[in-house]
A = this chain, B = another copy of it.
Amino acid sequence: MKEREIPYKIYLEENEMPTKWYNVRADMKNKPAPLLNPATLEPMTAKELGVVFCDELVAQELNETDAYIDIPTEIRDFYKMYRPSPLVRAYCLEKKLDTPAKIYYKFEGNNTSGSHKLNSAIAQAYYAKQQGLKGVTTETGAGQWGTALSMACSYFDLDCKVYMVKVSYEQKPFRREVMRTYGASVTPSPSMTTEVGKKILSDHPGTGGSLGCAISEAVEVATKTEGYRYVLGSVLNQVLLHQSVIGLEAKAALDKYGIEPDVIIGCAGGGSNLGGLISPFMGEKLRGEKDYQFIAVEPASCPSFTRGKYAYDFCDTGMVCPLAKMYTLGSGFIPSPNHAGGLRYHGMSSTLSQLYDDGLMEARSVEQTSVFEAAEQFARVEGILPAPESSHAIRVTLDEALKCKETGEEKTIVFGLTGTGYFDMVAYEKFHNGEMVDYVPTDADLAQGFAGLPKVQ
Q: Contact residues of A with B, CB < 8 Å?
A: 7-9, 11, 13-14, 77, 80-82, 88, 91-92, 110-112, 114, 151, 154-155, 173-175, 177-178, 180-183, 375-376, 379-385, 420, 422-423, 425-426, 428-429, 432
Question: Which residues from chain B contact A11 at a C-beta distance below 8 Å?
Answer: 11
Instruction: Known A385-B178, A432-B177; judge A80-B380 contact (CB<8 A).
Output: no
Q: Which chain B residue has the least Cβ–Cβ distance from A429?
A: B177
Q: Are A383 and B173 in contact (CB under 8 A)?
A: no
- Docked complex Cα distance between A328 and B54 (Å): 58
Q: Are B177 and A80 in contact (CB under 8 A)?
A: no
Contact of A174 among B111, B376, B381, B425 (CB under 8 A): B425
Q: List 13 A-B contacts (CB under 8 A).
A: A7-B14, A77-B91, A81-B383, A112-B383, A175-B425, A177-B426, A178-B385, A178-B422, A178-B425, A181-B385, A181-B428, A181-B432, A422-B423
Question: Given the complex of chains A and B, what is the CA–CA distance between A222 and B41 in angstroms?
Answer: 72
Could you tell me the distance in whole angstroms from the C-beta of A139 to the nearest C-beta in chain B?
A: 21
The residue on B at minimum CB distance from A110 is B110
Q: How many copies does the complex hold?
A: 2
Chain B contacts for A420, CB-based, 8 A: 112
In chain B, what residue has the closest Cβ to A154?
B380
Residues A112 and B178 in contact in the complex (CB < 8 Å), given A14-B8, A422-B423, A429-B173: no
Closest A-B pairs by Cβ, 5 of them: A8-B80, A174-B425, A7-B14, A177-B425, A154-B380
| Chain B residue at smallest Cβ distance from A420 | B112
Do residues A428 and B112 form an inter-chain contact, with CB atoms below 8 A?
no
Query: CB distance B180 to A432 under 8 Å?
Result: yes
Considering the chains assembled together, what is the distance between the CA atoms of A383 and B14 in angstroms? 18
CA distance A192 to B402 in the complex (A): 43
> Which chain B residues border A178 with CB–CB below 8 Å?
385, 422, 425, 428
**Docked-complex contact B14 and A151, CB < 8 angstroms:** no
Contacts known (A7-B14, A80-B7, A428-B177); A182 close to B381, Cβ less than 8 A: no
Chain B hits for A382, CB < 8 A:
81
**Chain B nearest CB, measured from A321 CB (Å):** 30
The answer to whether A383 touches B111, judged by C-beta atoms less than 8 angstroms apart, is: yes
A379-B81 contact in complex given A112-B384, A429-B173, C-beta closer than 8 Å: no
For residue A105, give the distance in angstroms from its CB to the closest CB of chain B.
12
Closest chain B CB from A76 CB (angstroms): 10
A174 to B429, CA, bound (A): 8
CA distance A178 to B428 in the complex (A): 8
Measured between beta carbons, the chain B residues less than 8 angstroms from A429 are 173, 177, 180
A181 CB contact (under 8 Å) in B81, B174, B379: B379
**Across-interface contacts of A77 in B (CB, < 8 A):** 8, 91
Q: A155 — which chain B residues lie within 8 A by C-beta?
A: 92, 380-381, 383
A417 vs B376: C-alpha distance when bound (angstroms):
28
A82 in complex: contacting residue of B80, B181, B183, B383, CB < 8 Å: B383
Q: What separation, in Å, do the CA atoms of A93 and B301 have in the docked complex?
A: 44
Known: A181-B428, A182-B380, A183-B380. 10 other contacts (CB 8 A): A7-B14, A7-B80, A82-B383, A111-B384, A155-B380, A155-B381, A177-B428, A178-B425, A180-B428, A422-B423
Measured CB to CB, the closest approach of chain B to A316, in angstroms, equals: 29
**Would you give the shortest CB distance from A118 to chain B, in whole angstroms?**
8
A112/B81 contact (C-beta < 8 A), A181-B385, A423-B422, A425-B173 known: no
Give the interface centre of A181, A426, A429, A432 by most chain B CB atoms within 10 Å.
A181
The distance in angstroms between the C-alpha atoms of A381 and B189, with both chains bound, is 28
